Amino acid sequence: MPTEETLVLVKPDGVARGLTGAILARIEAKGYALVDIRLVEPDRATLEKHYAEHEGKPFYEPLLEFMMSGPSVAIRLAGNRVIEGFRSLAGTTDPTTAAPGTIRGDFGRDWGLKVQQNLVHGSDSPESAARELAIWF
């Protein structure tokens, strides 16, 4: 099984709250390899490409605004089954109901309707990972 790569983002809420180190510690403890890492302030065009699948949904505009509210940390992450594995570390989308022990479950706060403030992004398939890595790196 060849080593897989995924795109991880520590989103603006994670960076602003000083949780980048705690999140990286979990990623490294799991044994995944940091291939590349950078602090990014994405413009709208970059985010429109990244979130193209969500265009037209009610949370799309607030999501883009949130993602432009401050820097994110973009990570090219490698490891065996890292796409599925990182999403397992991250927990489910809504931080209120994400399981304890996950990044979103342990650090995510109840933001009411602001589900978008859930600390991290992880690609959801090999196709998404290839597409998203090309956008951010």
Tell me which residues are annotated as active site. Answer: 121
Contact positions with ligand DAT (CB under 6 A) in 66-125: 93, 115-116, 118, 121, 124
Q: Which stretch binds Mg ion (CB under 5 A): 67-75, 102-110, 119-127, 129-137?
A: 119-127
Q: Name the minimum Å distance from CB 124 to Mg ion.
A: 5
Contact positions with ligand DAT (CB under 6 A) in 22-61: 54, 59
Token output for 102: 């996950």
CA–CA separation, 52 vs 60, rounded Å?
9
Closer by beta carbon to Mg ion, 31 or else 55: 55
- For 2-51, give the DSSP string: PPEEEEEEE-HHHHHTT-HHHHHHHHHHTT-EEEEEEEE---HHHHHHHT
Smallest CA-to-CA distance from 107 within 22, 29, 30 is with 22
Number of residues that bind ligand DAT (CB under 6 A): 9
Report strand pairing: 33-40 vs 120-122: unpaired
Q: Which residues are annotated as a binding site for ATP?
A: 11, 59, 87, 93, 104, 118
Q: Binding residues for ligand DAT, per CB under 6 A?
A: 54, 59, 63, 93, 115-116, 118, 121, 124
